[in-house]
Structure 1
Amino acid sequence: MPAVSNSSKNIVILISGSGSNMAAIVEAADKGRWAERYGARVAAVLSNKPEAAGLDFARERGLSVAVVDHRSHDSRESFDAALMAEIDQHSPALVVLAGFMRILTPGFVSHYEGRLVNIHPSLLPAFTGLKTHQRAIEAGCKFAGCTVHKVTAELDHGEYLDQAVVPILPGDTPEALAARVLTQEHRIYPLAVEKLISA
């Protein structure tokens, strides 16, 4: 089956740091031949931080890369407008938040309604927001995990697409638990993205 030369389903991934979930998705797209099978490809990787290490991975893979530095904008609305302008150049079928550490305005979320997904390091609806692993340990939970969900204007809400569970072990630290959860993030996020673009 010949490769699709003009993919109709462009995926834009937003990162702020190492981009490990982005890398997992890019590798899954290559290994799973998403371009051939679904007419889908990772069209661009964008970051709000020019120093984000994940940008190097994206460049090495020959992906389009751009930075929209939030520090050069005096409001969230101004930043989001600039980010939308950059994203929209790629006509995205899907915008994937992969460790993108910015709270997005309702206008941004509305603009990509139904096309915007995120992964959160807890078993939603438990532990929305930050410091999820520390809070789960302090609450005495026996299990933690991660959730892929569609993004709505309400933080860490929206339709759940997939979840993975890991045990919280005796003596666990937030760092040890985070590493165990991250392994599952790398597994379920590409699967959830593939399910969306194959629909």
Structure 2
Amino acid sequence: MRKRVAILISGGGSNMLALLNDMATEDHPAEPVLVLSNNPDSGGLARAAARGVATAVVDHRNFPKNRANFEAALHTELSRAKPDIICLAGFMRILSPEFVRNWAGKILNIHPSILPLFPGLHTHERALAAGMAVHGCTVHLVDETLDGGPILGQSTMDIDPDDTPETLAARLLKREHMLYPQVLREFAAGLSGTAFPTK
């Protein structure tokens, strides 16, 4: 039986599309059952609906200064979909430890750095400022720490002398679109801890 996957997004959903495209193959061990956004204007919602995937919105702006109620609404929508795996794909809200505990061992995230380097935001600028020779992305299980949790896969690339944060981001996004589907496929098949090639 294929694993049920919910994908959480906030924007256009390019990583979501990479996951959906891979799950559309017949041999995939998982299937998408929900794309959920905290942003009703998220372009990824229409893209998911066009592929026949159920969508839902829990607008965080309807819960001013009340993360507990926002996450309770998220939990309700996810519980209806009964996912085995939750993929964060550009979901721009920090999840509380309590929420993570409710879905422990089921939440994957992709982060644009070689964790544990540069957790949080502005990873491309920080990599350049630190004089890094390489940069990359990481898929990890989400735990109660910021961008923590066991690493399931990483992909790295050389930083060019003339790279800017924008060029790094654009080049790295292509690697994210390859890495995340690979990790999801193996995670859904019961494999984990896979380190993918860097080149």
Q: Same fold (TM over 0.5)?
A: yes
Q: Which residue of 2 aligns with 1:3?
A: none
Q: Deviations over 1:7-29 (max 9, x none)?
A: 55210000001101110000001
Q: How do 1:139-150 and structure 2 match up within 5 A?
A: 139-150=130-141
How many angstroms apart in 2 are the aligned matches of 1:175 and 1:53? Answer: 21
Q: How do 1:42-121 and structure 2 match up within 5 A?
A: 42-74=32-64, 75-121=66-112
How many angstroms apart in 1 are the aligned matches of 2:182 and 2:88? Answer: 15
How many angstroms apart in 2 are the aligned matches of 1:19 and 1:8? Answer: 23
1:116 alignment partner AA: I
Stretches of 4+ aligned residues off by more than 6 angstroms: none
Q: Which residue of 1 aligns with 2:194?
A: none
Calculate the TM-score normalised by the size of structure 1.
0.92
Calculate the TM-score normalised by the size of structure 2.
0.92
* Aligned-CA RMSD value: 1.0
Q: Secondary structure at the match of 1:31?
A: coil
Q: Secondary structure at the match of 1:13?
A: strand
Q: Deviations over 1:54-88 (max 9, x none)?
A: 11110100110000000001311111110010011
Q: Which residue of 2 aligns with 1:24?
A: 18
How many angstroms apart in 1 are the aligned matches of 2:141 and 2:104? Answer: 9
Please, which of 11, 22, 42 is the counterpart of residue 5 of structure 2? 11
Q: Secondary structure at the match of 2:109?
A: strand
Give 1:31 shift.
2.5
2:23 alignment partner AA: A
How many angstroms apart in 2 are the aligned matches of 1:168 and 1:18? Answer: 26
Identity among equivalent positions (%) equals: 47
Between the two proteins, the alignment pairs up a number of residues equal to 189
